[in-house]
Homo-oligomer: A and B are copies of this chain.
Amino acid sequence: MKNQVIVLAERPSGIPNENTFQFNTIETPEILDGEVLLKTLYVSVDPGMRGFMKKGTDDDIGTKYEIGKPITSRTVAQVLESKSELVKKGAIVHGRFSWQIYQTISADQVELVNPDLGPISTAVSVLGVPGLSAYFGLLKIGGIKKGDTVVVSGAAGGVGSIAVQIAKIKGCHVVGIAGSEEKIKYLMTDLGIESAINYKETKDLSKEIAKHCPKGVDVFFDNVGGATFDAVLPSISKHARLVICGEIAGYNQSDPPKGIRPNHLLIQQSARMEGFVVFDFKDEFESAKKEMSQWLKDGKMKYRENLIDGFENIPAAFIGLFKGENIGKQMVKVADPD
């Protein structure tokens, strides 16, 4: 069975490029007792993976990306064979799998996709890590409540596009920040967000945010960091919550990024800046997925997957994230289920 894997060829400096990755043709390993043989269907590529490429950095499950070893990311796959009682042949599963067409893995490393909740690809998009990050970030870390002014950066991306909608569902005044007219149109026309700012067409982002948030920013859901963070900071209201979900502006820098210290404003406004990883809330994943699935079915929430076809295009899809190419969740479709 022809098989391919994508490994980390070298640690990138700056934005990853084609030299970062290497395609290897390999034998499909034999399936052992307790394992399943998976066929990759959908691969999610996420900005945060750039952070894991730095030497010595743990990824979100505590493993590391190593030179010559497969890149892993959230993936939907089908079980072609099973030597475990946990999972049956034919099942659709998801988990953190290698960028590999076929792979064997311990059956306790896969989770069943519940097809009643939505199309199977959503297990790594709106009903997966990105959607859950928006959900728990806003509700648990941000503590959003009706009437809050909520600003979301990276608002048209895989996490941001869900965050703006959850904030809207909860009765907040929502302001999205994104980087193209097409994204602004998507936010305002398709998703019905009141207010969106194209930061690339804005001379003074800070002033623009102040204008869109006359009562101040109660919650900032930040996927970007850097200059975007600095621009929002002066507008925070008393007891503001700055939810630090991502820092795409900083991932490609080799030195820790520097910027305006938030300390003084945090004191002045009794404000809070809090990071999180979605797995902090894993005990509540099932109920969150059910609630979001219902929002989708009721038409209260939409999602878009920016689907790129073909295993060979996974690195390009990942690199594209840093060019701001995607609207919605950046993903690669590798195969249909049997």
Mark A residues whose CB is within 8 Å of B.
51, 58, 222, 225-226, 229, 244-247, 250, 256-277, 280
Chain B residues with CB under 8 Å of A256's CB are 260-261, 264
Given A258-B260, A261-B225, A261-B257, the answer on whether A247 and B267 have CB atoms closer than 8 Å is yes
Q: Could you say how many copies of this chain the assembly holds?
A: 2
- Which residue of A267, A271, A274, A280 has the most chain B CB atoms within 10 A of its CB atom? A267
Q: Is the CB of A244 within 8 A of B266?
A: yes
Using CB atoms, name the residue of chain B closest to A240.
Answer: B275
Taking the closest CB of chain B, its distance from the CB of A138, in whole angstroms, is 15
Q: Is the CB of B270 within 8 A of A272?
A: no
Report the Cα distance A247→B265, complex, angstroms: 10
Taking the closest CB of chain B, its distance from the CB of A54, in whole angstroms, is 10
Chain B residues with CB under 8 Å of A244's CB are 263, 266-267
Q: Is the CB of B280 within 8 A of A275?
A: no
Say which residue of B264, B271, B275, B280 sits within 8 Å of A247 (CB atoms). Answer: B264
Report the Cα distance A225→B264, complex, angstroms: 9
A-side interface mostly: mixed
Q: Is the CB of A264 within 8 A of B51?
A: yes
Chain B residues with CB under 8 Å of A58's CB are 268
Taking the closest CB of chain B, its distance from the CB of A185, in whole angstroms, is 29
Chain B residues with CB under 8 Å of A51's CB are 264, 268
Q: Is the CB of A246 within 8 A of B275?
A: no
Can you list the 7 inter-chain pairs with the closest CB atoms, starting with the nearest? A266-B275, A267-B275, A272-B274, A273-B273, A247-B263, A225-B263, A257-B261
- Which residue of A256, A264, A272 has the most chain B CB atoms within 10 A of its CB atom? A264
